[in-house]
Amino acid sequence: MKDKTVIITGANSGMGLASSAELARQGAYVIMACRNKERGQQALEQAKQISGSNRLELAICDLQSLDSVREFAAWFKERYPVLDVLLNNAGIMSLKRQITPHGFEAHMGINHLGHFLLTSLLMEPLKAAEQGRIVNVSSGAYKIGKIHYEDITLERGYNAAKAYAQSKLANILFTKELARRLASTQVTANCLHPGAVATSIGVDRATGFGKSVMAMLRPFFLTPEQGAATAIYLATSEEVAEQSGQYFYKKKPQRLSARADDPEQARKLWVWSEQQVGYKVPL
């Protein structure tokens, strides 16, 4: 990874922080994309300390805001002609139904649409890389997921599992269609299930609700470093240089459910996503 340029979203804690430190340790230049400047600065110092590298940089990118995503992408492209790895790691899981400033249900808006727009806007520097890699962090929760086009903001019968699973299924369908559209390029797109990882994903950002539950369950979960292992593998390993459109768990490709492996559903989600973010992807 020496001198490779990497962007990691949600890099201020958990697997994002672990991935930032490890990829910097391996010689990459890492842009830690975080929504909160103060927490991001703390994470930057921590990643430098863990990795023994100063080749890390903080940048602000709030995935719930399409304007913030556009500003970050423009900032990056002004400074860096090449992007070797885009690790779409950020994610939320909220017990309460929340709506983003653009009117999206928060899981779909942050976990999928924010990353959809970010990836689309960074296509030029990804294609300029010797071998660009897009790595999307999904979850085994996709198996209970469905894209509820008839009630996409989940006004009727909201629950956290339904919302989270919908967004994680979207991550996989996005990866499949992205890989199909990138087939004639040197850019690959893969996704993964990190396992049950002890992170702050289920903790309410504003109130801290959920911290005590997570602390109690922590001994039964993987560490962020263990959870990040497959994402790091997909970002770095020569073994997967030719693989694209796959879903990995424990560094191995997995069979997907019929719903997640449906090309027509992947195309439908892509078109819907373009409409929602107001950007026609040049692919």
Taking 3-state DSSP, the helix, strand and coil percentages for the chain, each rounded to the nearest 5, stand at 45, 15, 40
Here the tokens at position 246 are 């796959």
> Would the pLDDT of 140 be above 90?
yes
> Would the pLDDT of 146 be above 80?
yes
Alpha helix (H) ranges present in 80-196? 106, 115-121, 123-128, 160-181
* pLDDT of the residue at 41: 97
* DSSP element (H, E) containing 174: helix 160-181
Confidence of residue 149 (pLDDT cuts 50, 70, 90): very high
Here the tokens at position 261 are 């492996």
Nearest to 177 by CA among 260, 90, 241: 260
CB atoms within 10 A of CB 45: 12
Q: What is the pLDDT of residues 71-97, one digit of tens each?
A: 999 999 999 999 999 999 999 999 999
> Would the pLDDT of 216 be above 60?
no
Domain boundaries, the chain: 5-277
Amino acid, single-letter form, for residue 124: E
Topology of the domain comprising 5-277: Rossmann fold (3.40.50)
DSSP 29: E
Q: What's the half-sphere exposure (Cβ side, CA atoms, 13 Å) at 237?
A: 14
Q: How far, in whole angstroms, is CA 130 from its chain's centroid?
A: 22
Residues involved in catalysis: 164
Q: What is the pLDDT of residues 116-138, one digit of tens each?
A: 999 999 999 999 999 999 999 99
Using CA atoms, how far apart are residues 52 and 144, in angstroms rounded to an integer?
A: 41
Q: What's the half-sphere exposure (Cβ side, CA atoms, 13 Å) at 219?
A: 1
* pLDDT of the residue at 214: 46
